[in-house]
Structure 1
Amino acid sequence: MFSVVREQILKEVKDSDFIAIQADETTDISTVTQLVLVLRYIDSKMNVQERFFEFIPLQSSTAVNIATELKERLSIILPDQKEKLICQAYDGASVMRGATGGVQKRIKEDYPNAHYIHCYAHQLNLIMEQATSHISKVRNFFSDLGGFASFFSRSPKRTSVLDEMVSRRLPTSSKVRWNFHSRAVNTVFEHREDLIKCFHAIRDSGDFDEITVREAGAYARILEDPDFRFFLQLFHQIMPLVDTLYARLQKRSIDSVYIKRCIQRFQEDIQKIRDSLHAMTVEHSSLSLQSRKRVALSSEDHQRIAAEVCDTILGHTRERFQFTDHLICATLLQCDRFEDYQVDFPEEALKTTVKAYPVLDSSRLKTELELLYSNEEFRACSGAVDFLQFFMENNLGELFSETVTLLKILVTTPMTTAEAERCFSTLKRVKTFLRNTMSQDRLNALATLSMERAIVTEMTDFNVKVIDTFSNLKERRAKFLYK
C-alpha cells in the first residue's frame, strides 16, 4: 500500500511544473533524530498539494549529513529535472540557513533554482520574542503572567477553587506553542476580576498552607497593579493581530501575494495601536487615579514603553519580510496597486523577478502584465492562487503563459514549514512508547497512509494496484487475481 501511494506522489510530482521542499527535524520516542521531508507542488487540477514523503533517520544533525540525505531523496524525486526545484523551506537554525556551509547552500549547489525560505511563522515568533523579552518591564510582565498558571498547576486543591470561581483553566507555559502568550493574555484579561476574587478566597479561606496564602496575596496584588493592567490591556490589543497572522501563515493554500497583503495589513494595524497610545495611557491614568492606586510608572513612561514595543514589532517585520525576492516578485501581482502600475510600471520588481527566476521571459512578461494592469476584471483576485484558478477556468493559460508560469512559481513557493510541523504530530501517534522499536520502513508506511489517506480514497483502482504490487514482489505458486 505504501509503495502505491509513493508511486502516485512521484507521478504527480513528475507532471507538475515546479516543486518545493519543506524539511524540519525532531526526536522521536526512541531518541532517534527524524528529518521530515514534505513536497509542495501544483497538481494537474491546479490544486496546491503538500505531500509527506518520508521520515529520514539522521546519524548526526550536521549540514553535510542533512544535505546528503536530502540530495539522495531528491535524486529519486527529480532524477533528470533539477531545474524544477524552485524552493527549499526550513527553520532559521544556522545549520539549515547558513550562507556558506548550511543545508540550503549545499542544496543550491546542485539545484541552482532552489531559493531558500526561512519559515515565516518561525520569523513571526522571533519577532514577538524580541518584542516581549528585550524590554525589562515587558519581560517582567510576561514572567508574572506565566506565574498564574504555574501557581494553580502545582495543586489540585488550588485548581478546584479556580474551577469553582473562574470556570476557566489558565494556559501553561510552552516554548514550542507559538501562541502561548496570546492565550495567556486573553484569558487573564477576560477573567481578571474573577482571578482576583479567586486569590482572595484562597488567602482568606484558612484551608491552605502559609506558602500558598503568601503567593495568593502576591498574585492578587499583581493583578491590581496599574503597570500590570496597562501591559495587559496593551498586549490584549496586539496579540489577536498576531494570532490572525499566525492562522493565515499556517494555511496550506497561501501564497506570497496573499501573505504580502496580510503582512502589510498587520503592520497597518500595529501602527494604529501605536498612534492610539496617547489616548490609551490617558484613560489608564484616569482609571488608576479613580481607584486610588499608586501608578509606579507615569503615563509618559507607559507610552514610551508601549511605543518601543510597537516599534520593535514594526521594525523587525520590515527587516525580516520586506526585502526577500519572492515578496518583491509578489508585488507584480498585488491587485490593490494595479491602478498605480498603469501609470508607473514596476520595472525594478520585474528585474528582480527575472533575475530570481531565469525561466521567465522578461519582455513577454512585461507585455502580459501591462495588459493585466489595465483590466479591472483582474483586481478582484486576492492572491496568486485566485489568479491562477481564474486564468485556468477562463482558458487564458496560453494567452498569459509567462504570467501563469510566474503564478505557479509563487503558489508553489511555501511560506512556512507548518506542514512539516504537523507531520510531527503523526509521528508521535504512530511511534509510541509501546511501539518504540518499530522499523523505519514500517514507520514511513504507517505515517504515509495516515497523512495521505486522501490519495487512497481518490484512487479508484487503488485496491487493484496494491494486489498487483503485492503479487509481483516475488515468484509465487498461486496467482493473486482481484475480481
Structure 2
Amino acid sequence: MPNFCAAPNCTRKSTQSDLAFFRFPRDPERCRIWVENCRRADLEAKTSDQLNKHYRLCAKHFDPAMVCKTSPYRTVLKDTAIPTIFDLTSHLKNPHTRHRKRIKELTEDDIRRMKERRLASSAEQLAAKKDEDSSTTNEDEPQLSTEEKEYRDHLKSLFEIVVMFGKQGIPLAADKVSEPELESNNIQAFLDYCINAGDEALRKRFEATAVNAEYLSATQLNQLLDVCENTVREEMVMEVRESRFFSLVTGEFVEFADEKHLPLFLRFVNQQNILREEFLDFIPLGDGDESALVEKIEAQVTDRWGLSMEDCRGQAHKATGTSTTKMKAVAVLLMEKYPLALHMPCSHMALNVHLGNNLPFPNVQVVMETLRRIEALFKSQFSQVELENAISTHYQKNEDRGAALREACSPGWTEQHNVFDVLLEILPPLLLCMENIWENDNRHFTSSVAADAYAIAEVLADFEVVVTVVILKNVLTFTRAFGRNMQGETLDVFSAASSLTAVMHSLNEVNDNIDVYHEFWYEEALNLAAQMEVPVSLPRLFLRKQREVEMGEIQAESYFKEYVTIPVIRGIMQEVEDMFCDTNVKALKCLSLVPAVMGHMKFNTTEENYADVYRNDLPNPDTLPAELHCWRIKWKHRGKEVRLPTTIHETLQLPDVKFFPNVNSFLKVLSTLPVLKLESGNNAASERLQGYLDGGPAKYWHKSLAMLHINTHVKHDLDVMVDKYCRLYPEDDPEAEPEAEPEAEGSAGGGADAAVEGGAEGAADGATDGAAEGDVATK
C-alpha cells in the first residue's frame, strides 16, 4: 500500500516519487512539534502512537542536512530532525482544490512559540554540525559486500542493454526463422554477445546457472523496462513542476497488445526559458466513454506526476477519423473543469487539415482517410516518379503548370495548408497514377501496394468524392491564409488573431448566399468529373433509402447542396468559432507584449484590456499597468542599433526581462499555448514517436521501448536505476511484489523511528506490457 504525505498542499505518495517517507516519531514531545509545524488541526487529537503508525512526511519537508542515507537501500532522519519546509499558501490561489488537507490558522501565541522553538532548533543543529565537522569518525556509507557489488554490476549491464534497445528502436523479439517452433530473441542474442565480448558481470552471473536456466525472464525484463521508463519520465516531470504552467497535447491513438493508447505530451517553458514539448506516457483508453478518459488524464497528471490541472493553460488534440469526435468531447469536458485549459489547434498540423479531420461527415472523412493513404503510398520512390509522370502526361500542353504541380507534390504535400488546392489540381493525373500502379506493368510495385492503389482509385472515381473535394477546397480557401499566419511567426499570429472577424465575415457571406456559391462549385465539380471520366451519380446508399421510403426523385445538384455544401460550410464555421472563442483570441492578442509586435503597432498597444485572462498567474497583478507602461517606454526609446526581439523565445532570453516580472510570467504562459509553433528542432518528440511507429511492424511495438526511444535526449543515471530496482525488487525473490522496508530500531528521541518506508515511482504501476513468449531469453 502506498504512503501518502501528511503535509498540507502536498500530493506526493511513495509509489510515485523517489523520495524517502518518514514516520511521525513515537516520542510525544517531538511528535507534537511535528504536528504543530504541519498546521493540521485534525492531527492534534491523535496520539503519537497513532500518528507513528498511520502518518508519514516526505523528505521534501526537512532540511537536507537532517536526512542521512546510511546505505543504498535505507534513508533515515537525524534524531533532532524537525520538519520546517511547508507550502501553506498555494491552496489560496485555487479555492476549488479537492480533498485539501485543512490548515490550522495560527494565534499570536502559536506564532511566538514556533519562533522560539525554531531558534532553539537552529542552535542545536549548528552545534551538531560543528561536532560533525570536528569529529574524525568516518560516516560514509558502509561498503557493499562482494555479492552485492556483483549483483549491482550485473543489473547495471542489463540496464545498459535495455536503454540501448530503446534508443536504437530494436524490438525485443526478432522475426520467426524457418522452423515454426523456433523464434530468435534479440535480448538473448545480445546477452550472448556481451558475455562473449568479455562482460564479466554478466558472465559471473550466468556461468554457474543450469544450462536451461533463463537469462532474463519476462517478469524481470518488464521490471527493468518499468524502472527505466519511470526514471526517464521523472526527470522530465521535475522540470515541469519547476516551470508550473503547461499545456496538454495528445497524438493519434496507438495500439499496443490489442489495446488502444493515447500518446500524451506536455508543453512547457523550462528554467532556461526554452519552450519544450516532451512525450510523457501512453494512456490506455479501455472501454470507457469520454468522461472516463478525462478522469484517466487527470489521474495521470495529478496522482502519478504530482502536477496540478489548475496550472494547465492549453490543450490540443491531434486526432483523425472517428477519434476526432471523442477527443473534441474530451476537450469540452476538460474546459468545463478547467476554464483556462484553452482548446486550440495543434501547431504540428495545418489548420485546414485539422478542420477537415474535425468535420464529422462520412464523405469528408473518406477524403481525409484517402489523403492519409496517399501519403503512405507515396513514401516509395517509384510511386513518386509515377505521379510525376502522370502529371507531365496530363499537363503536356501546359508545361509550366505541370512543373509547378510536380514541385507542389513534393513529399509532405498532404500536410500543407494548401492541400485541398493541390489535390483538386492533381485529381485527374492522380487517378491515372493510381491506375498505372494498379496495373503494375513494369513490376515495380508489390501486390500490397498495387492493392492500395486500386482501393484509392475506386474512391477517387466516385462523384461524391469529387464534389466533396471541390467544396472543401473552395470553403477552406477562406481559412488558408488565416491558418498559415496562425502557425507562423509571432507577428503573423497576432495579425491572424486580429483578422478572425474578417474570416468569419467571409464564411457568413458564403452561408448567406449559399445558392449562388453552390451553383458555381457544382459546375466546377461537373467539369472536373468530365475530365476524369467519372459519371455523375448519387450515392448508392442514399438511393436505396430513397426507394425504401418511396420518396420522389431528387436531383443530383439539390442532393449535394443539402448533404455536402451546406453541412461543410456550417461545420467549418462552427469549428472556427469553437477553436477561436473570445477567451482564446484575448490570449493571442496578449502577444503584443513581444517588442516586434509593439513596434509594428507603433507602441500603441492595450494589453491591459486582455490581461484579465491570466491575471491570477501574475506575481504582482496590481502593478501590471505601470509595468506595461515602462515596458513600452523601454522599447520605444531604444537606441537605433537595438533590434526588436521578434519572438517570445528571444524576449524571454533578454537579461533584463527579469526586472519586469509580470511581463516575464505573461510571456511564459503564452508560450505554452499549443497553437504557437515550436522553435526549430523542439518538435522532436512527436517526430520521434512517428519514427518509432514507422520503424517496424505493429506486433513489435512496446510502449516502454517507445518511451525510451522518444526521450533519448533525457539524461539518465544507470546507478539511480540500479538503486531503484534494488529497492523495488529484492535480489532473493526477483518476481515478488516490492515491499516497504522495515523501520529502524528505536533510539532515544525517536529519530530512528523515522526510517524510510521506501517507495519509488512505478511500484504501483505494475509490470509494463507483458512480453511475448519470444521475449524470454534462455540460456
Scaled to the shorter chain, the TM-score interval is 0.5 to 0.7
Give the Å deviation of 1:268.
8.6
2:711 matched residue in structure 1: 452
Given candidates 244, 250, 273, the residue that maps to 1:46 is 273
Give the Å deviation of 1:55.
0.7
1:465 matched residue in structure 2: 720
Kept in 2, the 8 Å contact 1:95–1:103? The answer is no
Distance 1:182 1:101 in 2: 29
2:585 matched residue in structure 1: 327
1:396 matched residue in structure 2: 657
Letter matched to residue 260 of structure 2: T
Distance 1:198 1:433 in 2: 29
Unaligned runs of 5+ in 2: 1-227, 395-404, 407-411, 437-456, 510-519, 521-565, 733-779
Distance 2:603 2:676 in 1: 32
1:380 matched residue in structure 2: 644
In the alignment, does 2:230 pair up with 1:10? no
Cα deviation digits, residues 337-356 of structure 1 (max 9, x gap): 557585574543233442xx
Distance 2:385 2:603 in 1: 65
Letter matched to residue 387 of structure 1: T
Q: Secondary structure at the match of 1:71?
A: helix
2:422 matched residue in structure 1: 186
Kept in 1, the 8 Å contact 2:391–2:426? The answer is no
2:283 matched residue in structure 1: 56
Give the Å deviation of 1:414.
1.9
Kept in 1, the 8 Å contact 2:247–2:674? The answer is yes
Cα deviation digits, residues 308-366 of structure 1 (max 9, x gap): 9xx99997797456544243133233243557585574543233442xx4545433122
2:675 matched residue in structure 1: 415
Kept in 2, the 8 Å contact 1:86–1:409? The answer is yes
- In 2 relative to 1, CA 73–331 (structure 1 residues): closer, same or farther, beyond 3 Å? same
Give the Å deviation of 1:24.
4.5
Distance 1:122 1:62 in 2: 28
2:770 matched residue in structure 1: none
Kept in 2, the 8 Å contact 1:40–1:51? The answer is yes
Percent of pairs identical after alignment?
Answer: 14
Letter matched to residue 462 of structure 1: D
How does 1:52-451 map onto structure 2 within 5 Å? 52-76=279-303, 79=306, 81=308, 83-90=310-317, 93=324, 95-98=326-329, 102-105=333-336, 108=337, 112=338, 114-120=340-346, 121=349, 124-125=352-353, 127=355, 166=391, 179=415, 182-183=418-419, 185-186=421-422, 189=425, 241=481, 244=484, 248=487, 259-261=493-495, 319-320=577-578, 322-334=580-592, 335-337=596-598, 345-354=606-615, 357=616, 359=618, 361-374=620-633, 375-376=635-636, 377=638, 380-389=644-653, 393-397=654-658, 399-415=659-675, 425=690, 428-429=693-694, 432-435=697-700, 443-451=702-710
- In 2 relative to 1, CA 66–122 (structure 1 residues): closer, same or farther, beyond 3 Å? farther
Give the Å deviation of 1:17.
3.0
- In 2 relative to 1, CA 119–166 (structure 1 residues): closer, same or farther, beyond 3 Å? closer
Kept in 2, the 8 Å contact 1:88–1:115? The answer is yes
- In 2 relative to 1, CA 33–46 (structure 1 residues): closer, same or farther, beyond 3 Å? same
Give the Å deviation of 1:266.
9.6
- In 2 relative to 1, CA 239–166 (structure 1 residues): closer, same or farther, beyond 3 Å? farther
From the CA coordinates, give the structure whose radius of gyration is larger.
2
Given candidates 29, 32, 36, the residue that maps to 2:259 is 32
Q: Secondary structure at the match of 1:453?
A: coil
Distance 2:432 2:725 in 1: 67
- In 2 relative to 1, CA 17–433 (structure 1 residues): closer, same or farther, beyond 3 Å? closer
- In 2 relative to 1, CA 349–338 (structure 1 residues): closer, same or farther, beyond 3 Å? farther
As a proportion of its length, which structure holds more helix? Answer: 1
Letter matched to residue 2 of structure 1: E
Give the Å deviation of 1:453.
0.8
Kept in 2, the 8 Å contact 1:430–1:446? The answer is no
1:290 matched residue in structure 2: none
Q: How many residues align?
A: 384
Cα deviation digits, residues 162-211 of structure 1 (max 9, x gap): 6656469999xxxx99638945743774898x899999x9xxxxxxxxxx
Distance 2:589 2:675 in 1: 15
Distance 1:2 1:17 in 2: 22
Letter matched to residue 8 of structure 1: E
- In 2 relative to 1, CA 451–267 (structure 1 residues): closer, same or farther, beyond 3 Å? farther
Give the Å deviation of 1:43.
1.5
Letter matched to residue 69 of structure 1: K
Q: Provide the alpha-carbon RMSD of the alignment.
A: 6.0
- In 2 relative to 1, CA 21–408 (structure 1 residues): closer, same or farther, beyond 3 Å? same
Q: Secondary structure at the match of 2:271?
A: coil
Unaligned runs of 5+ in 1: 202-215, 275-280, 282-307, 437-442, 478-483
Kept in 1, the 8 Å contact 2:618–2:666? The answer is no
Give the Å deviation of 1:425.
2.5
- In 2 relative to 1, CA 28–417 (structure 1 residues): closer, same or farther, beyond 3 Å? farther
Give the Å deviation of 1:471.
4.8
- In 2 relative to 1, CA 47–343 (structure 1 residues): closer, same or farther, beyond 3 Å? closer
Distance 1:115 1:236 in 2: 27
Kept in 2, the 8 Å contact 1:162–1:168? The answer is no
Kept in 2, the 8 Å contact 1:130–1:312? The answer is no
Distance 2:331 2:270 in 1: 34
- In 2 relative to 1, CA 358–24 (structure 1 residues): closer, same or farther, beyond 3 Å? same
Kept in 2, the 8 Å contact 1:270–1:314? The answer is no
